[in-house]
A and B are shown apart, each in its own frame.
Chain A
Amino acid sequence: MSELTIVEAPPGIEGSGFFATSLDKVVGLARSHSLWPLPFATSCCGIEFMATMGSHYDFARFGSERPSFSPRQADLLMVMGTIAKKMGPVLQQVYTQMAEPRWVIAVGACASSGGIFDTYSVLQGIDEIIPVDVYVPGCPPRPEAIIDGFNKIQELVKNESLRRRESPEYQALLAKYGIQ
């Protein structure tokens, strides 16, 4: 049997028979280890993600056991690959269909900046149409890089305040993209 490791409890006050901490931290801990990703794979970065999901790199060990191919049940939108301008509205609609709280990771040079496709038909980074939390560089990035990006998302999720999504700053951010 291998040694099992479980996540550490958040900082709090401990005594005999009780443990007290803030709800924010408990919810963040639970969320960050059960993120359901929606893989939006359009090209070669998607192939790297398939390797990441496979048994060798075993993406599921971070709690994303179930890649959700329905945006309704997804927490994390993983955009992997070149997004043509014609695909832009589709991607934005997928993002809009996700329930709050939702996070976005742009995997690879194309999703982050357009990459080598500096041309009239390709979106120069998905942050032109939806807000992005983490960018993973690489062309394509190795599975280790994708996992590192995912871990950074987990840190964001863990430390996010429960009220952030109601804040005027967040509403202003969405309004900037014309969402809601």
Chain B
Amino acid sequence: MGTLSNQVVIQKLTARFADKISVPTEPFGLLTLETNTETIAEVLRFLKEDKELQFNYLTDITGIHYPEQELAIGVIYHLHSLTHNVRIRIKVFLSAANPSIPTATTLWQGANWMERETFDFYGVQFEGHPDLRRILNVDDMTVFPMRKEYPLEDPNRVDKKDLFFGR
């Protein structure tokens, strides 16, 4: 248990951002909230630079795809206050047609590869990223493989064809 309670974090965030952020929830004790592309850079900067909160460590940036949602592509930030040992999770949802969000590399250098990975798998454009190109997949890949519209299986696989199973 950290020295900073979630309630303090919630109070400071709502005082600063009011209706620009969603009502924070605490699933499994992990403080979680949602915001939008206009506010995310400001939220991250506030959390990092506020003297009391000091969320100075960016644990991870990941993506998610919910094809049934209007804003289908999600970007999720996990921050950790090493001073207080408190964590927070921030979600931003973007339209699948043009998923674009400001970069976090201006705050944390470590965001560089995390954003490249999220771009690699979900096609999220991080505006202001110094070198946004694929990091894990082969360079000539044309799709964003973690999006649901692309099949997981390799199309070259021949031994799983129906005719081998009498179908």
Q: Which residues of B contact A120 (CB under 8 A)?
A: 143, 145, 150-154
Q: Provide the bound-state CA to CA distance between A124 and B159, in Å.
A: 10
A85-B138, A86-B137, A86-B138 known; A119 vs B156 contact (CB < 8 Å): no
Are A124 and B156 in contact, with the CB atoms below 8 A? yes
Nearest opposing residue in chain B for A112, CB measure: B159
A86-B137, A120-B150 known; A128 vs B145 contact (CB < 8 Å): no
Q: How many A-B contacts if CB must be within 8 Å?
A: 32
- The secondary-structure label for the interface of chain B is loop
Q: Provide the bound-state CA to CA distance between A108 and B30, in Å.
A: 43
Q: Provide the bound-state CA to CA distance between A85 and B143, in Å.
A: 14
* A121 CB, nearest partner CB in chain B, Å: 6
Are B160 and A118 in contact, with the CB atoms below 8 A? yes
For the complex, count residues of B whose C-beta is within 8 A of A: 15
Q: Provide the bound-state CA to CA distance between A86 and B157, in Å.
A: 17
Nearest opposing residue in chain B for A128, CB measure: B156
Is A143 engaged at the interface, CB distance under 8 Å to the other chain?
no
Q: Which residues of A contact B159 (CB under 8 A)?
A: 113
Q: Which residues of B contact A122 (CB under 8 A)?
A: 154
Are A121 and B156 in contact, with the CB atoms below 8 A? no
Are B138 and A124 in contact, with the CB atoms below 8 A? no
Chain B 40-71 interface 0/1 with A at a Cβ cutoff of 8 Å (1 = within): 00000000000000000000000000000000
Are B138 and A114 in contact, with the CB atoms below 8 A? no
* B149 CB, nearest partner CB in chain A, Å: 13
CB contact list, A23-52 vs B, under 8 A: none
Q: Provide the bound-state CA to CA distance between A121 and B150, in Å.
A: 13
Are A124 and B137 in contact, with the CB atoms below 8 A? no
Are B154 and A114 in contact, with the CB atoms below 8 A? yes
Q: Provide the bound-state CA to CA distance between A45 and B137, in Å.
A: 24
Q: Which residues of A contact B157 (CB under 8 A)?
A: 113-114, 118, 124
Chain A 80-124 interface 0/1 with B at a Cβ cutoff of 8 Å (1 = within): 000001100000000000000000000000000110001111101
Are A118 and B138 in contact, with the CB atoms below 8 A? no
CB contact list, A116-144 vs B, under 8 A: 118-122, 124, 128
Q: Which residues of A contact B151 (CB under 8 A)?
A: 120
Chain B 110-141 interface 0/1 with A at a Cβ cutoff of 8 Å (1 = within): 00000000000000000000000000111000
* A2 CB, nearest partner CB in chain B, Å: 44
A85-B138, A86-B138 known; A121 vs B160 contact (CB < 8 Å): no
Q: Provide the bound-state CA to CA distance between A114 and B154, in Å.
A: 10
Q: Which residues of A contact B156 (CB under 8 A)?
A: 124, 128
Since A120-B145, A120-B151 are in contact, a sample of 16 more A-B pairs with Cβ atoms closer than 8 Å, ordered by chain A residue number, is A86-B137, A86-B138, A113-B157, A118-B152, A118-B153, A118-B157, A118-B160, A119-B152, A119-B154, A120-B143, A120-B150, A120-B152, A121-B137, A121-B145, A124-B158, A128-B156
* Selected A-B contacts with CB under 8 Å, 26 pairs: A85-B138, A86-B137, A86-B138, A113-B157, A113-B159, A114-B154, A114-B157, A118-B152, A118-B153, A118-B154, A118-B157, A118-B160, A119-B152, A119-B153, A119-B154, A120-B143, A120-B145, A120-B151, A120-B152, A120-B153, A121-B137, A121-B145, A122-B154, A124-B154, A124-B156, A124-B157
